[in-house]
Amino acid sequence: MAQEQNILDEVVQSDYKYGFTTDIEQELLPKGLDESVIRFISAKKNEPEWLLEWRLKAFEQWKRMVEPTWPNVKYPRVDFQDIIYWAAPKKKEGPASLDEVDPELLATFEKLGIPLEEQKVLAGVAVDVVLDSVSVKTTFQDKLAELGIIFCPISEAVANHPELVRQYIGSVVPTNDNFYAALNSAVFSDGSFVYIPKGVRCPIELSTYFRINARNTGQFERTLIIADEGSYVSYLEGCTAPQRDENQLHAAVVELVAHRDAEIKYSTVQNWFPGDANGKGGIYNFVTKRGVCEGRNSKISWTQVETGSAITWKYPSVVLKGDNSMGEFYSVAVTNNHQQADTGTKMIHIGKNTRSRIVSKGISAGVSQNSYRGLVKILKVAQGARNYSQCDSLLIGDACGAHTFPYLEVANETATVEHEATTSKIGEDMLFYCNQRGIDTEAAVALIVNGYAREVLNQLPMEFAVEAQKLLAISLEGSVG
């Protein structure tokens, strides 16, 4: 249909909303990676010896590993020696208040619409902002401290709570887990650390905004969240990135540990630069996210709305160790133009009566490729385990692809595993019905897509859900088939 083609073209031309760069004085290390770089990073952060050793071990492991080639994505090889592994905004002496923070930086946040202080205070959200590699400003720490909650940059946690970091770091994602996890372990710059003590319900949503800013800077965030017995925390992660020509690598590691009766809810809205209409540029997003339900009745829930990045390679997983523990994965992944996503989850059932639920909604448009890859593994000892998976694909236009690769491995006869998948398009009858009610095709697509994704969007905290809905509409503006 000619009209739809026009709208499609329009979208292809719509520029990345958050594409700009900030000019801040930066401290850069030359490109490339060897042991001295790791020693430099570790020294720069005044790390204890054990952490340096840990990094070096990871580096040794990484050198022996090869990049995974099994995901259903194609991209030019990454030259790991052509990446800067350390970039930090130059620190002035003790920026105690916002006034002392580089005004350029504040302007950047302004442009992004990130309400750093007052707005966040009003909204009741504490923010740990990461610009490139070093945390700049943390709010609400005092209030959280009263409850015994630790929410700080991981580098700070290394200094102030070394016993906790040492106990848990790498306990969920070992340094040699995979190629990118090993790389992250060797060179991680900063990230968030959260500890919720026994019986404490974190009263606010913890949130962090990541940005990728420095040219050619690989980002290696490391997040560690520990929910002690009977505690609860909801953590939000949202991303925007400035427009760049070169591909940028992002290889984060997120580790979650939920003890007995604890619950962790981890929500992500990801809107990194997806590359331009010709597939030039864009972020490579190779992330390892995993949680372990360590104790009885614990619960970990991943919710993600993925609209950005040129390449996404991401499988937030849950290891269900504790009896009666529960894992959830709710995902909306949108690919448009030349984007490629290979994302899904792994649910590893070990404990008795463990349950998992997977709801994945893929949306492909343009010439993009969208793959769901998921593993449900029921071990022999996992008596009474149950899984339910629903994987839907929506295709918009006839030049994209939707792929589903579920792996269902069942070794216990009392388990119940159910998997369903469907593929559909936005029907012309649906669009005409909306048109007849006065809703133009572009708005109709946004409406229909948000309806399609509603089950996942409902899982997000209210503030995020609104943002996510807008993102879906922006990412797909008018691409109709």
In whole angstroms, the minimum distance from the beta carbon of 438 to other proteins comes to 4
In whole angstroms, the minimum distance from the beta carbon of 481 to other proteins comes to 5
Instruction: Output the CA–CA distances (angstroms, integers) from residue 200 to 204, 256, 261, 333, in the order listed.
Output: 12, 16, 11, 33
Q: By C-beta, is 132 or 392 nearer to other proteins? A: 392
d(CA 435, CA 458): 26
In whole angstroms, the minimum distance from the beta carbon of 430 to other proteins comes to 5
d(CA 79, CA 124): 42
Q: By C-beta, is 166 or 419 nearer to other proteins? A: 419
d(CA 81, CA 84): 8
Note the residues at the interface with other proteins (CB under 8 A): 1, 3, 70, 380, 393, 395-425, 427-430, 432-441, 443, 447-448, 450-455, 481
Alpha helix stretches (DSSP H) within 64-205:
103-112, 118-123, 141-146, 154-160, 162-168, 179-187
Residue whose token pair is 């925007």: 240
Partners of 137 in beta bridges: 129
Residue of 369, 359, 358, 302 whose CA lies nearest to 334 = 369
For 175, the token pair is 């340094």
Q: By C-beta, is 268 or 369 nearer to other proteins? A: 369
Q: By C-beta, is 34 or 409 nearer to other proteins? A: 409
In whole angstroms, the minimum distance from the beta carbon of 379 to other proteins comes to 11
Running DSSP on this structure, what letter comes out for residue 101? S
Q: By C-beta, is 257 or 453 nearer to other proteins? A: 453
In whole angstroms, the minimum distance from the beta carbon of 401 to other proteins comes to 4
In whole angstroms, the minimum distance from the beta carbon of 439 to other proteins comes to 5
Q: By C-beta, is 298 or 479 nearer to other proteins? A: 479
d(CA 319, CA 209): 26
In whole angstroms, the minimum distance from the beta carbon of 431 to other proteins comes to 9
Give residues with Cβ within 8 angstroms of 395, minimum separation 6.
Answer: 364, 365, 401, 402, 423, 424, 425, 481
Residue whose token pair is 């990045």: 309
Partners of 193 in beta bridges: 152, 224
Q: By C-beta, is 160 or 424 nearer to other proteins? A: 424
